[in-house]
Structure 1
Amino acid sequence: MLVLTFKIGEYSYGLEATAVAEVVPPAICKALPRSPQFVKGIFNYRGTVTPVVDLSMLATDVACRPLMSTRIVMVDLADLDSRYERGNKYLGLLAENITETVKIKDSDFKISGVEIPDAPWLGKVARVNGNILQLIRPGKLLTEELHKILFPADSQDIPE
Structure 2
Amino acid sequence: MTGTKEQARTNQITLPNREGKYLTFALASEEYGLEILTVREIIGYIEVTAVPQTPHYVKGVINLRGQVIPVIDLRAKFGMETAAVTEQSCIIVVEITQEGRTYSVGIIVDRVQEVLDIPGDSIEEPPRFGASVNTDFILGMGKVGSSVKILLDIDKVLAGDRLEHVG
Q: Would the TM-score normalized by the shorter structure come out above 0.5?
A: yes
The equivalent of 1:20 in structure 2 is 39
Structure 2: gaps spanning 5 or more residues: 1-19
Structure that is richer in strand per residue: 2
User: SS of the counterpart of 2:110?
Assistant: strand
Q: Matches of 2:120 and 2:64 in 1, distance apart?
A: 32
- Note the alpha carbon deviations across 1:130-154, whole angstroms, 9 max, x for none: 111111111102332x11xx22389
Match for residue 33 of structure 1 among 41, 44, 52: 52
Q: Does 1:101 align with 2:106?
A: no
Q: Does 1:142 align with 2:153?
A: no
The equivalent of 2:29 in structure 1 is 10
The structure whose RCO (Cα within 8 Å, separation 6+) is larger is: 2
C-alpha contact (below 8 Å) 1:6/1:99 kept by paired residues: yes
User: SS of the counterpart of 2:155?
Assistant: helix
C-alpha contact (below 8 Å) 1:64/1:95 kept by paired residues: no
Task: Give % identity.
Answer: 23
Alignment of 1:1-160 (within 5 A): 1-77=20-96, 80-81=97-98, 83-84=100-101, 89-114=103-128, 116-117=133-134, 120-144=136-160, 146-147=161-162, 150-152=163-165
Runs of 4+ with deviation above 3 angstroms: none
Larger-Rg structure:
2
Q: Matches of 1:109 and 1:83 in 2, distance apart?
A: 28
If the length of structure 1 is used for normalisation, what is the TM-score? 0.80
The alpha carbon displacement at 1:121 in A equals 2.2
The alpha carbon displacement at 1:66 in A equals 1.5
- Evaluate the alpha carbon distance shift between residue 141 and residue 24 of structure 1 in structure 2; reply closer, same or farther with a 3 A threshold: same
User: SS of the counterpart of 1:18?
Assistant: helix
If the length of structure 2 is used for normalisation, what is the TM-score? 0.77
Q: Matches of 2:101 and 2:71 in 1, distance apart?
A: 18
In angstroms, what is the RMSD of aligned CA positions? 2.2
